[in-house]
Structure 1
Amino acid sequence: MKLSIVILNYNVRYFLELCLRSVEAAITNIEAEIIVVDNHSSDDSCAMVRLQFPNVKLIENKENHGFSKGNNIGVAHAKGDYLCILNPDTVVAEDTFIKTLAFAEQKSHLGIVGCQLIDGRGNFLPESKRNIPTPKVALQKLLANSKNYYNTNLKPNDIGVTAVLVGAFMILKRDVYNEVGGFDEDYFMYGEDVDLSYKVLKAGYKNYFFGETTIIHYKGESTLKDKVYAKRFYGAMEIFYKKHFKKHAVISTVVKVILGLASMRKPANTLSKVIVKETLVISNAPNKQLRNKMATSLSFSKDLADITKESQIVFDSEFLSYKTIIEFIKTKNIGNQNTYRIWVKSSNFMLGSDSSTGRGEVVSF
């Protein structure tokens, strides 16, 4: 088998369904399997997977094991030569895996391959490609200088070597994953992708950013960006430093101070206000249920050219390809004046996110 896609889910039933629909469309011509590991969700995620995706291998944990252990459990059941670690709050294009695997096959000493991630408004997510967060770099970031934290040498559409990739989307050989011990289970959530990237580098492999494919990552769906998030994130970074930068007592002291200050900072909300004058649904047919649900003025069109500024755009995913939707959100949001929702018509819900730091919106009919 060529590819095993491991998706760790926790209480994001609707985002998981959309993710699985996009993944199924993307593996039509690939020998692949999908493994969903559920970390004891209290919603109906598991029932949905069993009913709507009978070919998906579903692993139902009896407790929330966290990101690292949850993914390691999934990988233990994987049969593919390659793994894709994928967040459930993502949407992939139909050619994402084909293009990324073709790139991977060309490389020797291949470590991890990541791709271009955008949020629900089409904004590039800089964590798609990062440098090693040394104590010095962490201090600079705390002081609002992220130049050395993110890999700014590569543009969003570029291809090149980078040190750290984000756990929302990672492709690597299963043998490499197992060689370095997979995700370190000392990390419950956050920091494990930095740690894995670093372990792969230390094992003699090269990590790559592959900017020729783009996916949506609705950041903040599995956890809200609040003080709890900050505490967990910087706590995870402290684990990272103790494991990899613990030899110097002065560095250890500086790290504790940096992380203590950083954990008190509440992440900024990057949401820019948008005045939505109308809702335009891009679909091949009007829908009465959708029309009754929306409070704003609503119209239907088959033509993407009809989209205007200050509108909420609802994409019918059974009319448009996921790649078309992703590329439009990425390239056509002129002046960042529109918001976007993806409509899963057969399941009667739509979802999207207007911020990379807050929870998205799900509307079911």
Structure 2
Amino acid sequence: MSHVEISVITVSYNNLQILIDCIESIYKFNDIGNKLEVIVVDNSPESNIFDYIQQKYTEVKIVKNDNNGFGEANNVGVTFAKGKYLLFLNPDTILIEPIFKFAIDKFEQDKELGGFGVKLVDLKYNRNTSFQYIDKCGFIDNQIIKLCRKLDLFIDGKMCIIGADIFMNKEVFYDCGMFDENIFMYSEEADLARRIKCLKKKMAYFKEKSIIHLEGKTVSNKQIDLERRMESQKYYCGKYGLNFKKMINSQIRYNYFKMIIYKVTHSKKYGICKNNINLMKEFCKEK
């Protein structure tokens, strides 16, 4: 058996069809043969996904896991990984071109490269969110990051790769302490980027390759999703000495601005935006 070069780690939760589409695309565009392995960590409360994948895809290594968060599940997956390199890949992604040989070449060409991401697009191949600021979240910051995304301008140390697709050197991942398991979901990318930077390793963004990302398709409860996001931000701010309330207030002001635009354009997103503002205000009061 050939030596495994890349281990793809996917964390699943409830949505079987999305996971199937992701797995099928991985094998369809596998350009390194048996140097690739796929590991699924199933956080679902029921066993239907685990049973189906185990029977249907005998080459996939699937692990049943308690739902202790995105980062913890990925850490569990890494303990089973044989590859020199890792790809943390959301189940709501679909590969549309060969990418694994490209990834190996990038790591082999630059020994200082700790990890990277590629361009994320929607089903119509329109640009999706591929990277974001590590900490900034105000109105001006959001306009700047939008421009940077249009220009494919990624600034290492200031920005981090979105968690939907993170290629990592496994040794660097271990050296930086893996994902912080105190973060259930969200902010784990910024936290990881900070620790990789401390190792003096680089994170990069390569626009030459694309992956479809069905943003939000794995989220079933928007309120719980927002609450988890804020809980993670609170922990993250405490970890790095940042002002949590200031960060949330910046997000509230930005949502007010979006709400005005949605009202003028009669967008259905107006109600969602208004609800988000109320939830953020209530969260800050309670905490």
TM-score when scaled to structure 2?
A: 0.79
Cα distance in 2 for partners of 1:234, 1:263 equals 12
* Contact kept? 1:12, 1:89, Cα under 8 Å: no
Cα distance in 1 for partners of 2:188, 2:68 equals 13
Q: Which amino acid aligns with 2:95?
A: V
* Contact kept? 2:148, 2:154, Cα under 8 Å: no
Cα distance in 2 for partners of 1:70, 1:216 equals 22
1:153 deviation in Å? Answer: 7.3
2:247 maps to 258
Q: Summarize the Cα distance change of 1:238–1:99 in structure 2 as closer, same or farther, 3 Å threshold.
A: same
Cα distance in 2 for partners of 1:243, 1:154 equals 32
Matched, 1:116 2:126: no
Q: Which amino acid aligns with 1:232?
A: R
Q: 2:40 aligns with which of 11, 36, 42?
A: 36
Q: 1:76 aligns with which of 74, 79, 91?
A: 79
Identity level (%): 26
* Contact kept? 1:130, 1:151, Cα under 8 Å: no
Which residues of structure 1 form unaligned runs of 5+? 273-365
Cα distance in 1 for partners of 2:245, 2:83 equals 40
Per the alignment, in what secondary structure is the counterpart of residue 164 of structure 1?
strand
Partner deviation per Cα, 1:233-292 (whole Å, 9 max, x = no partner) = 132122222112x1xxxx53xx31432574795998x9x9xxxxxxxxxxxxxxxxxxxx
* Contact kept? 1:90, 1:218, Cα under 8 Å: yes
Cα distance in 1 for partners of 2:78, 2:113 equals 18
Determine which structure has more spread, i.e. the larger CA radius of gyration: 1
Cα distance in 1 for partners of 2:147, 2:178 equals 24
Cα distance in 1 for partners of 2:123, 2:46 equals 25
Partner deviation per Cα, 1:299-329 (whole Å, 9 max, x = no partner) = xxxxxxxxxxxxxxxxxxxxxxxxxxxxxxx
Cα distance in 2 for partners of 1:109, 1:34 equals 25
Matched, 1:240 2:236: yes
Moved more, 23-32 or 196-205: 23-32
Cα distance in 1 for partners of 2:26, 2:211 equals 11
Per the alignment, in what secondary structure is the counterpart of residue 178 of structure 1?
helix
Per the alignment, in what secondary structure is the counterpart of residue 130 of structure 1?
strand
2:21 maps to 18
Cα distance in 1 for partners of 2:149, 2:23 equals 33
Matched, 1:181 2:177: yes
The two structures, once aligned, show a CA RMSD in angstroms of: 2.9
Partner deviation per Cα, 1:42-77 (whole Å, 9 max, x = no partner) = 37211221121101111011x212101111000011
Per the alignment, in what secondary structure is the counterpart of residue 195 of structure 1?
helix
2:53 maps to 49
Q: Summarize the Cα distance change of 1:91–1:111 in structure 2 as closer, same or farther, 3 Å threshold.
A: same
Cα distance in 2 for partners of 1:53, 1:185 equals 29
2:134 maps to 132
* Contact kept? 2:117, 2:206, Cα under 8 Å: yes
1:60 maps to 64
1:170 deviation in Å? Answer: 0.5
1:91 deviation in Å? Answer: 0.4
Per the alignment, in what secondary structure is the counterpart of residue 74 of structure 2?
helix
* Contact kept? 2:115, 2:202, Cα under 8 Å: yes
Which residues of structure 2 form unaligned runs of 5+? 266-287
Cα distance in 1 for partners of 2:51, 2:178 equals 29
2:208 maps to 212
TM-score when scaled to structure 1?
A: 0.63
Cα distance in 1 for partners of 2:102, 2:45 equals 33
Q: Summarize the Cα distance change of 1:260–1:235 in structure 2 as closer, same or farther, 3 Å threshold.
A: farther
Partner deviation per Cα, 1:168-201 (whole Å, 9 max, x = no partner) = 1011111000001110001001111111112111
1:203 maps to 199
1:228 deviation in Å? Answer: 2.6
1:86 deviation in Å? Answer: 0.5
Q: Summarize the Cα distance change of 1:89–1:100 in structure 2 as closer, same or farther, 3 Å threshold.
A: same
* Contact kept? 2:37, 2:60, Cα under 8 Å: yes
2:189 maps to 193
Q: 1:93 aligns with which of 93, 96, 116?
A: 96
1:288 maps to none
Cα distance in 2 for partners of 1:112, 1:214 equals 16
* Contact kept? 2:131, 2:149, Cα under 8 Å: no
* Contact kept? 2:31, 2:99, Cα under 8 Å: no
Q: 2:110 aligns with which of 65, 82, 107?
A: 107
Q: Summarize the Cα distance change of 1:10–1:239 in structure 2 as closer, same or farther, 3 Å threshold.
A: same
